[in-house]
Amino acid sequence: MYKDLSHLNEEELDILIEKYYSGYNVKKILEEYNLDIKSSKLYTYFPAKVVPEYKCRHCNSNMIYNRKSKMYGDNYNIQDLFCQNCGHKYEDKYCQCYYCQQEKIKILNYKREIIKKTYSTENIDSINFNNLNFFNKVYLGSIVRELISEDLSYIKDLNSSNIKLSPYDKLTFRMYRELIKIQALVVSPFSDVSSFKDCEEFPSIYYIDQVMYILNINDDLNLDNLIKKIINPDYYNLENINDAYNLWKDIAINECIEYLIYQIKQINFEFNPADKTYNIIELMLENFSVSQIYNIIDKSVKNASKFYLEKKVSKQHAANSIIGGCERYANRAIVEKWDLTRYRRNYDLPQSEISEFFFNKVIKIGNLGFDISPNTELLKTKFHNND
């Protein structure tokens, strides 16, 4: 018995293949040709079929395809075609043939050169750190403290760092946009090509959290001491009280949003916070701390889950009721003068970098930033006490 088809001439092989795809019983074909091959594997011994109407764009050879089982018939899809000479796949942007790999290397090198030219820092004036406003100094300190490279030459990309820069992505991207806008951070010309959108405008459009940055800051100090100045702030003073209050409130709002979304996901609901949610949380922060609002959110989410199960409403309807429930509960707590229990930070939601940097390093109130409502009186008192 034969273990393959090498003993057959071309005509015999064509007849066998025609029988196979015409519906002949495979076992009878095996017996007729005295073949010791599994029925389910017979088609794998067939030679590839040439498709002369399709040519390889690299070497102009005919394209071929490997035959499939009789279940699929002797047909092919364009993506099945490959070059019999160099192995190039006809329609596959991930083709790994030698020629395609060389093309990709050439394109990659070209893109790298375009990025270097576009984001060259030669003609960019640096910014004096002392001229940054309070918010941008805090944003910059939060980023530099965690993402500055070992040799202090660039800011690492956020995406691959596993650093939680802020409680919520919207705040994170706002921090970057503000610093990019004033050119305190400029895109590094050595950022990875994949950090830029592959489009006609390449490399003008990039992913904020994936590119690397150059710290475009100057001072009378050398670089090492400048970094120390940025991450060991001494700029908080009475003139910054209102800015500090607003940033405290901003961080607090985003910590509440983060916790709200987390709790909603725990019950398999979906919710996209918009202006109404932000406004209600901001109002609640006038009377309650983040830790107390965690309590309020927890109760409202449980009520929404109960509402969904008992009233048979949609998940979206139940999810949309949560923020309104928070507002009603908070208003009742104010009227009835409840002393709401303060929750601890959730294990799954560790304190973000900007929160830790701002509360511990800048205004130096520590956990009070989480446990009391944002207020200017504490900031003034803390400042005077520091004096």
**DSSP letter, residue 350:** P
* Pairing outcome for strands 217-218 and 127-128: parallel
If you average pLDDT over residues 10-14, what whole number do you get? 93
Note the pLDDT tens digit of each residue in 273-293. 999 999 999 999 999 999 999
How far is C-alpha 182 from the geometric centre of its chain's CA atoms? 24
Note the pLDDT tens digit of each residue in 155-213. 999 999 999 999 999 999 999 999 999 999 999 999 999 999 999 999 999 999 999 99
Calculate what percentage of the chain has a pLDDT beyond 90.
89
Residue 203: per-residue pLDDT: 97
Reported in sequence order, the residue ranges of the chain that DSSP labels E, i.e. its strands, are: 49-55, 62-65, 82-83, 127-128, 185-187, 213-215, 217-218
Q: Tell me how far apart the alpha carbons of residues 210 and 109 are, in angstroms, rounded to a whole number.
A: 19
Tokens 């996901």 sit at which residue? 265
Residue 385: per-residue pLDDT: 59
**DSSP letter, residue 362:** I
Residue 167 Cα distances to 96, 180, 321, 374, angstroms = 42, 20, 23, 17
Q: Tell me how far apart the alpha carbons of residues 229 and 320 are, in angstroms, rounded to a whole number.
A: 45
Q: How many CB atoms lie within 10 A of CB 132?
A: 20
Tokens 């959730």 sit at which residue? 346
Note the pLDDT tens digit of each residue in 50-107. 999 999 999 999 999 999 998 888 888 999 999 999 999 998 888 999 999 999 999 9
Calculate what percentage of the chain has a pLDDT beyond 70.
98
Per-residue burial over 328-358, b = 16 or more CB atoms within 10 Å of its CB, e = otherwise: ebbeebeeeeeebebbebeeeeebbbbbbbb
Nearest to 288 by CA among 332, 244, 349, 322: 332
Nearest to 299 by CA among 338, 335, 272, 273: 338
Which two structure tokens, joined as six digits, stand for 266?
A: 């725990």
**DSSP letter, residue 223:** H
Categorise residue 162: left if φ over 0, alpha if ψ from -120 to 50, beta otherwise: left
SS3 assignment, position 212: coil
Laid out side by side, the sheet with 62-65 consists of: 49-55, 62-65, 82-83
Please state the φ and ψ torsions of residue 213, each to the nearest 5 degrees: -130, 155
Dihedral of the alpha carbons of 345, 346, 348, 350, in degrees to the nearest 10:
0
Residue 386: per-residue pLDDT: 53
Residue 2: per-residue pLDDT: 86
In this prediction, residue 383 has a pLDDT band, given cuts at 50, 70 and 90, of: low
pLDDT surpasses 70 at 387: no
If you average pLDDT over residues 14-29, what whole number do you get? 93
pLDDT surpasses 90 at 219: no
If you average pLDDT over residues 355-370, what whole number do you get? 97
Note the pLDDT tens digit of each residue in 91-147. 888 899 999 999 999 999 999 999 999 999 998 999 999 999 999 999 999 999 999
Please tell me the pTM assigned to this model: 0.85
pLDDT surpasses 70 at 34: yes
Name which of 310-314, 352-356, 366-370 the model is least confident about.
Answer: 310-314
